[in-house]
Amino acid sequence: MATLEIKDLHVQVQTEDGPKEILKGVNLTIRDGETHAIMGPNGSGKSTLAYSIAGHPKYEVTSGSVTLDGADVLAMTVDERARAGLFLAMQYPVEVPGVSVSNFLRTAKTAIDGEAPKLRTWVKDVNTAMDRVKMDTAFATRNVNEGFSGGEKKRHEIVQLELLDPKVAVLDETDSGLDIDALKIVSEGVNRFKENGDKGVLLITHYTRILRYITPDFVHVFVDGRMVEEGGPELAEELEANGYDRFVSAAV
């Protein structure tokens, strides 16, 4: 069982001109096995929502709540959230010089499971996960994300998703910057993850094309820091045809 519940979430960032509110009351509930897509124009606050769920220190929650199976996520540290079962595939994965992918993956897996993975099966698991997203296993000895192309960074996020096997995954524009083959590979990775059980997926995207491979149960339109419309997959079709104009003018 895994339910992520976001209630009336308000978030601000500090700017040179003082605090600026970016999330203006977000409500969203992701239940067992549900995939929600969030679509919205640039700068509407999608990444802010993703980072706020993960606990990035830059984003300050001023009111509202986030719970995972009833537990107060906002009271947890960044790493506690991950250990509780949250995973964020980042829009811009960070380079960590001098830390090899294999060391990173093993350290993360050990942290999430509370014990070191068994060496023999672990090496196999890593190789399989990398093979599946067509990442050469030579990446294991490279530094985390350093010198990776945009697409390689995204695939590396999916490798982590598969190996760390969280309860709820937030994917922030994992599809952007991918060519069509890579998009399929990444989508298959997400679908495999979903098949692992009652997983929740929050798919943040700009484009409808990924929704051809990952079928959402719900589509939300996100404008100016809040949800302005909710529907099924057909809402994505409408956005594809007409863009955000209808929603943007309504929100102003």
Partner 1 sequence: MTAETLSHALEVEDVDSHLHPHRSFDVADHAVPTGREEIWRFTPLKRLRGLHDDAPLDGDGVGAEADAPAGVSIELIAPDSPLRGSSGFVPSDRIAARVWAEATRAWAVTIPAEAAPEEPVVVTLTGKDSESATASHLVVSAGAHSKATLVLRFVGSGTLADNVEYVVGDGAHLTVVSIDDWDDDAVHVGHRHAKVGRDATFRHIDVSFGGDLVRHDTTAEYAGPGGEVEMLGLYFADEGQHIEHRLFVDHNAPRTRSHVSYKGALQGEGAHTVWIGNVLIRKVAEGIETYEENRNLVLTDGCQADSVPNLEIETGEIEGAGHASATGRFDDEQLFYLRSRGIEEHEARRLVVHGFFNDLIRKVGVPSLEEQLTATVEAELAKNVLREGPA
Ligand X SMILES: Nc1ncnc2c1ncn2[C@@H]1O[C@H](COP(=O)(O)OP(=O)(O)OP(=O)(O)O)[C@@H](O)[C@H]1O
Distances (CA, A) of 134 to 19, 142, 154, 239: 43, 16, 12, 31
Residue window 86-105: x/- pattern of binding to Mg ion, with contact defined by CB under 5 A: -----x--------------
111, interface contact from partner 1, Mg ion, ligand X, none, CB < 5-8 Å by kind? partner 1
13, interface contact from ligand X, partner 1, Mg ion, none, CB < 5-8 Å by kind? ligand X
The nearer residue to partner 1, 109 or 194, going by C-beta atoms, is 109
| Residue ranges in 55-204 assigned as alpha helix (H) | 78-84, 101-113, 119-132, 150-164, 180-195
Q: Is 57 in the site for ligand X (CB under 6 A)?
A: no
Stretch in the footprint of Mg ion (CB under 5 A) among 42-50, 69-77, 177-185, 231-239? 42-50
d(CA 208, CA 84): 30
d(CA 141, CA 102): 6
Stretch in the footprint of partner 1 (CB under 8 A) among 63-71, 74-82, 220-228, 237-245? 74-82
Q: Is 96 in the site for partner 1 (CB under 8 A)?
A: yes
d(CA 87, CA 231): 25
**Nearest Cα to Cα of residue 145 among 190, 101, 175:** 101
HSE of 74 in the Cβ direction (CA atoms, 13 Å)?
17
Interface residue list for ligand X (CB under 6 A)? 13, 15, 20, 22, 40, 42-48, 91, 206
Interface residue list for partner 1 (CB under 8 A)? 54-57, 77-79, 81-83, 87-88, 90, 93-99, 103-104, 107-108, 111-112, 143-144, 160, 164
